[in-house]
Structure 1
Amino acid sequence: MTAHVLMLSSSRQGSEPYLEHARALIFAHLGDIRDLLFVPYAAVTQSYDAYVDAVANALPECKVTGLHSVDDPVAAINNAKQNGQAIVVGGGNTFHLLSTLYANALIVPMKHAIADGTPYIGWSAGSNICGQSIRTTNDMPIIEPPSFDALDIVPFQINPHYTDYQPPGHNGETRDQRLAEFTALNPTTPVVAIREGTALKLSEATLTFEDGRENKADSEHDGFIFLGNEKTPINAGDSLNQLLDSVL
């Protein structure tokens, strides 16, 4: 397995500027690469051009090219590695992102590019699509993709922006209850739930749990693995290689 993938839970941590908390993780993952092929398809209420500008402003050291602006998106994905580019996928609405990837016939090329070692960075929706499916996204299904099947880079489900906070007076289901519904129907499929400011990193066939937050004691646990009826805490620095056993 040559995948080199950084899956950030969020683009912001607390009130910090856009991508500020993730800069160290991003540049460590990129190495010498500073040319980013950015996929803006999760944007709905802002233009793709504005989204590219936001990422370029947050990462001024990098050249950011929007995939929507190239003549042949499939060729751009296929050639990203030889062009010295990393593929970056931003957050927004996961259903819109996946639907647009299907519409542009990009699912298979992205799978192949990532499997071939093209560096990949995603946050929020861009991380969600790295799992088996998007069935554990937090987003509203504002559009119906042809399938919920995602890139399947890791053999489990991802739940970004995880929180176990229960607002006073709120009588709707908690995040844990929603994830318990998924695991009740899919008892053998793990769900990795990660708090804002944290990330999963897959590199050299090793999966680790990373923390980009300045205050790493914000919570008792940084995330959890939901599997069947079990909820297992995970913390920064933990190896999650046991979740890769089926594909190694």
Structure 2
Amino acid sequence: MSIKKMLLMSGSKYRTTGYLEHCIPWISRFLADYRGKTVAFVPYAGVSRSYDQYEAAVQQAYESLDMKIISVHRASSAVQAIEQADAIAIGGGNTFCLLNQLYRHNLLEPIRAKVNSGTPYFGWSAGANVAGASIMTTNDMPIVYPPSFEALNLFPAQINPHFISGKIQGHNGESREERLNEFLLVNPKALVYALPEGTALQIRDHKATVLGFDDILRFSGKMDMETIAVNSTFNYE
């Protein structure tokens, strides 16, 4: 029986660290058995830089991992690139653009099938968002309109990356907690996992472990909030 293996990271930076630098130890352990293998990188969340530039940045950041990282935009068939990959990585950026392109290239089902058959999946920011049930708890502006907000549902709950508690001084809009409360009032049966900067969820089968430099939060029902401590493991379904 195949074991689902995922690493869902809040973002690509933590405090003063370089691009993806704080993630390297996690990914190195996560992919310890995949040295020399091929990673299909999905760059579709990228907006402010080209897919070529995005691929190059990720290749440079992950150079020490000894893996062949190839963006799916280079393939004549993105579906085939996913099907032939040893691991799958989805980068951050704009979640609406990402999901729109996943639908456009018919990649949702191939990615689901690969990950459910045991292929490792790792993603940060938008790449963590789309692993969840839907993208309705993203922080991004809806600059394009995907066919649906429904995402990969590999992790059957909502992800809110880059979580910051409370209001920034001088900001009079809603706090993140207030925004998530709005979501839960409309979707009272949903669960939301809020990942502060520098945190991640490592999934193995039906268990999740909190990695990083901070605790995470789980929101449910009428804004019930539970803290899940860093390094703890819990059943998520």
1:149 CA displacement: 0.3
The 1-side partners of 2:21 and 2:44 are apart by: 22
Runs (5+) with no aligned partner, structure 1: none
Say if 2:58 is the partner of 1:55.
Answer: yes
User: Partner residue of 1:38?
Assistant: 41
Q: Which secondary structure does the structure 2 equivalent of 1:240 belong to? A: strand
1:165 CA displacement: 4.1
List structure 1 runs of 4+ shifted beyond 2 angstroms. Answer: none
1:98 CA displacement: 0.2
TM-score normalised per structure 2: 0.94
The 2-side partners of 1:155 and 1:205 are apart by: 10
Say if 2:230 is the partner of 1:236.
Answer: yes
1:76 CA displacement: 1.4
CA deviation profile, 1:50-77 (whole Å, cap 9, x unmatched): 0000001111133210100011111111
Say if 2:229 is the partner of 1:226.
Answer: no
Work out the percentage of aligned pairs sharing the same amino acid: 44
Partner AA of 1:59 in structure 2 = Y
CA deviation profile, 1:163-221 (whole Å, cap 9, x unmatched): 1142212110000000000111111111000111110111133211111xxxx3xxxx6
Runs (5+) with no aligned partner, structure 2: none
Q: How many residue pairs end up in the alignment?
A: 231
The 1-side partners of 2:56 and 2:196 are apart by: 26
Deviates more, 1:194-203 or 1:221-230: 221-230
1:16-165 matched pairs, under 5 angstroms? 16-34=17-35, 35-60=38-63, 61-80=66-85, 85-165=86-166
The 1-side partners of 2:111 and 2:28 are apart by: 21
TM-score normalised per structure 1: 0.90
The 2-side partners of 1:165 and 1:222 are apart by: 15
